[in-house]
């Protein structure tokens, strides 16, 4: 298995594109993206658990009830959420792009991201669709990745190549996500494509299994979005024998999928609004995996810990505090904590109590761009990883006037 270029266009039969159609005022930023498969593909999607859901999620869920899809259209700049005509607009987006591509509207995944509660005008989307379809190409992943960005500062994409049954397969993805990220299923918007042949049922099983230890373990600010969606399309053009049950081929596919999702998780967390650091909390020695997940997520979500990491302050007490209120079954008198980066690793807590350490060395370690928070519970074999970012002044600046 190796990382390759191409993102969502790496797999056979997939092309993508992106344009500025006029939803966003800034003409230099693309606001409409499209991913297209040459043939109908197996499809699986997971959605936000927020009771307030964007209209595109409702429409997409209906469209892929049969486990099939052929294209994804997504706009940025407006979430199409809490709008009286939201369903109508999302259906119209599907109809317009389907007519242009000459495929069924029921095979369209539709998504939106941006400001909640503001009407979405279909006119700029309608006028931009011909150019959007014309932009489709094997080199179009960058344009599509840009078209789904909101407060993101970097495009998020990856692809990997792997082998199933002697056939070379590829899987790639793009994502957007910078703020309002505290998922309980996925994160903001993620679109993944693969040419591996896998049934809709097994694709759904693969995705639902994977997100429990990837996208569900990401948090930027503790807010679960209304528009979170992760979609995978598998068109089977690699020519492998279709995966219809668990086994070696399914395990290989799962490994490839996980490589893509973990990479995107790290990119999303590291690009949190106003963030200067990627935080990765690794928990081991838990009684169960679920306990490890609860502890890791609690630590990564702590505003006090996030602020301490911004200031490169080795305030390990905030780690213990977050573990203590997590609700997890933990013996706090057994907990060890260390901080690690490319500058080294330093132990700061042993058996739930502080130990002597150099504040100067600790600060040098914590000034790096990527920080690992290592937690040993010393009570079993369960382990988990969670991703987040530091909390900075800029997070408040960005969200203080996001709508206006």
Catalytic residues: 187
Nearest residue to 168 (alpha-carbon basis) of 37, 8, 42, 4: 4
Which residue shows structure tokens 């609004």?
273
179: DSSP letter: S
The CA distances from residue 321 to 96, 286, 334, 337, in Å, are 52, 17, 14, 12
Distance of alpha carbon 71 from alpha carbon 256, whole angstroms: 22
Distance of alpha carbon 74 from alpha carbon 112, whole angstroms: 5
State in Å, rounded, how far the first CA of the chain is from the last one: 46
Are 339 and 364 in contact by the 8 Å Cβ rule? The answer is no
State how beta strands 278-286 and 370-376 pair. parallel
Are 43 and 115 in contact by the 8 Å Cβ rule? The answer is no
Structure tokens at 82: 């809490």
């Amino acid at each position: 298995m190796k990382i390759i270029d191409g993102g969502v266009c790496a797999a056979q039969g997939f092309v993508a594109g992106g344009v500025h159609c006029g939803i966003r005022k800034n003409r230099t930023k693309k606001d409409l993206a499209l991913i297209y498969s040459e043939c109908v593909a197996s499809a699986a999607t997971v959605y936000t658990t927020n009771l307030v859901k964007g209209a595109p999620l409702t429409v997409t869920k209906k469209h892929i009830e049969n486990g099939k899809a052929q294209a994804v259209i997504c706009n940025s700049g407006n979430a199409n959420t809490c709008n009286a005509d939201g369903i109508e607009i999302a259906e119209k987006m599907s109809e317009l792009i389907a007519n242009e591509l000459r495929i069924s509207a029921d095979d369209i995944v539709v998504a939106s991201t941006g400001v909640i509660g503001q009407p979405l005008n279909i006119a700029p989307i309608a006028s931009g669709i011909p150019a959007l379809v014309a932009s489709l190409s094997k080199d179009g992943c960058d344009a599509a990745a840009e078209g789904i960005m909101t407060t993101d500062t970097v495009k998020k994409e990856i692809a990997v190549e792997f082998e199933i049954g002697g056939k070379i397969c590829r899987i790639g993805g793009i994502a957007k996500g910078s703020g309002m990220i505290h998922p309980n299923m996925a994160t903001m918007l993620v679109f993944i494509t693969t040419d591996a042949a896998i049934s809709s049922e097994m694709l759904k099983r693969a995705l639902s299994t994977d997100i429990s230890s990837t996208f569900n373990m990401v948090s930027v600010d503790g807010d679960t979005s209304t528009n979170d969606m992760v979609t995978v399309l598998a068109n089977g053009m690699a020519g492998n024998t279709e995966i219809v049950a668990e086994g070696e081929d399914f395990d290989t596919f799962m490994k490839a999928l996980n490589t893509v999702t973990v990479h995107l998780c790290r990119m999303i967390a590291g690009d949190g609004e106003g963030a200067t650091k990627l935080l990765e909390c690794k928990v081991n020695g838990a009684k169960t995996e679920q306990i490890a997940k609860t502890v890791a997520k609690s630590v990564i979500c702590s505003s006090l810990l996030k602020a301490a990491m911004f200031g490169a302050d080795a305030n390990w007490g905030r780690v213990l505090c977050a573990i203590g209120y997590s609700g997890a079954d933990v013996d706090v008198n057994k907990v060890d904590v260390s901080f690690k980066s490319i500058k080294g690793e330093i132990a700061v807590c042993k058996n739930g109590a502080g130990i002597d350490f150099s504040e100067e060395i600790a600060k040098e370690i914590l000034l790096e761009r990527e920080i690992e928070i290592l937690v040993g519970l010393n009570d079993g074999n369960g382990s988990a990883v969670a991703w987040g970012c530091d909390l900075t002044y800029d997070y408040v600046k960005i969200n203080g006037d996001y709508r206006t």
